[in-house]
């Protein structure tokens, strides 16, 4: 499969790096410290900013301190992060002016996880601090495309979580690539097992192996470019 795109936008956790075990351990510790059930909290953390997850469980007047606590716990465990298969190879193929990392994590956590995984920091990153509304809102991906000077319809987005995929679809990205089995059935153009199945050609994206092919078409159901939330 060939996709003619001008830029690649990558989610980080679950796409470029494996931070799942460390992140879930941090959130479990946070939940227990607040007498919450870890299993309940863990169901909604992936692809969502910590401030929005915290708001589901903590009163507004305590949310800032609770968010700072979980951010600190995740940062402490960032050294356990490892690169996912194919991440270094694909990321290295793309020119810096045609790639971005778009994450729901704070900037400090993103930088720590990329460093632990041995991946370079691109010039364009979008973190939780850069938008008023995080995933599943389209804002993070629209900001990334704008900073790259690309129309979002020229961009391919790599995502693994339902929240992240919903953000990519809401942004009306040209191509949405799901990564891993968590992306199955979420409306992606194609789902690949990992980034070893993707190659940057210089003029677009080549997919060599897929585990699901979607039916989303660019000439129907896409609608106009989504606006940034205010």
Q: Are 156 and 174 in contact (CB under 8 A)?
A: yes
Q: What SS3 state is found at 100?
A: strand
Copy the structure tokens of residue 102: 């778009």
Q: Are 73 and 29 in contact (CB under 8 A)?
A: yes
Q: Are 99 and 33 in contact (CB under 8 A)?
A: no
**Among this protein's residues, is 189 annotated catalytic?**
no
Spatial separation of the C-alpha atoms in residues 124 and 9, rounded to whole Å: 10
Spatial separation of the C-alpha atoms in residues 5 and 159, rounded to whole Å: 16
Spatial separation of the C-alpha atoms in residues 114 and 42, rounded to whole Å: 23
Nearest-10 Cα torsion for 211, 87, 98, 189? 10
Q: Which one of the listed residues 13, 18, 139, 189 is annotated catalytic?
A: 13
**Among this protein's residues, is 97 annotated catalytic?**
no
- For 193-225, b/e burial (b = at least 16 CB within 10 A) is ebbebbebeeebbebeebeeebeeeeeeeeeee
Q: What SS3 state is found at 63?
A: helix
Active site members: 11, 13
């Amino acid at each position: 499969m060939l996709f003619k795109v001008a830029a690649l936008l990558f989610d980080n956790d679950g796409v470029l790096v494996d931070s799942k075990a460390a992140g879930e351990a941090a959130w479990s510790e946070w939940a227990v410290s607040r007498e919450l059930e870890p299993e309940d909290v863990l169901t909604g953390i992936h692809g969502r900013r910590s401030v929005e997850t915290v708001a589901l469980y903590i009163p507004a007047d305590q949310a800032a301190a609770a968010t700072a606590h979980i951010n600190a716990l995740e940062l402490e465990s960032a050294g356990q992060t490892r690169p996912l298969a194919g991440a270094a190879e694909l990321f290295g193929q793309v020119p810096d002016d045609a790639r971005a990392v778009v994450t729901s994590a704070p900037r400090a956590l993103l930088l720590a996880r990329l460093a632990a995984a041995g991946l370079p920091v691109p010039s364009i990153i979008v973190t939780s601090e850069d938008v008023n509304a995080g995933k599943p809102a389209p804002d993070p991906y629209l900001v990334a495309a704008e900073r790259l000077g690309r129309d979002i319809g020229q961009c391919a987005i790599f995502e693994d979580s339902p929240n992240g995929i919903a953000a990519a679809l809401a942004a009306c990205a040209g191509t949405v690539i799901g990564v891993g089995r968590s992306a199955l059935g979420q409306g992606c153009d194609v789902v690949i097992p990992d980034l070893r199945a993707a190659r940057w050609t210089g003029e677009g994206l080549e997919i060599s192996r897929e585990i699901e092919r979607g039916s989303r078409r660019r000439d129907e159901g896409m609608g106009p470019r989504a606006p940034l939330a205010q």
